[in-house]
Amino acid sequence: MSTTVLCTVGDPTAALGEVRRVLVPGGRFVFWEHVAAPARTLVRAAQEVWTCRAPDGCHANRDTLATIRAAGFAAGAVTPVRVRLCGRRRPSAAERHPGREQNCGRRLNAHVAS
């Protein structure tokens, strides 16, 4: 279970690598995270301002879903939850992709899925 962790940690790809390491094959990673709004929207502009001023290093403008997918999780259905002035958070779950081991050490920013 991860609650607004991936928007705050310095290296979400490394954090997800650790999640994959301890998750049993076929296990489920459940999370509730900030997700970047589409580019050139009012919400995204607000996220950029918020990220510059956010406490504890929160990056509400990260594309968390893509990061999770790039880390080797099979992302299923996502139910977006809109929170006024805070962008979108998506309570979600992702299963460990059985045959995929690592993301070749590339750092990617991305979205969240289940």
pLDDT tens across the length of the chain (114 residues): 788 899 889 999 999 999 999 999 888 888 888 788 888 999 889 888 888 887 778 888 888 888 888 888 876 666 565 555 455 555 555 666 665 544 333 333 344 443
98-110 in b/e burial notation, b at 16+ Cβ within 10 A? eeeeebeeeeebb
Domains of the chain: 2-96 (3.40.50.150)
Three-class SS of the chain = CEECCCCCCCCHHHHHHHHHHHCCCCCEEEEEEEECCCCCCHHHHHHHHHHHHCHHHCCCCCCHHHHHHHCCEEECCCCCEECCCCCEEEEEEEEECCCCCCCCCCCCCCCCCC
Chain centroid offset of residue 76 CA: 13
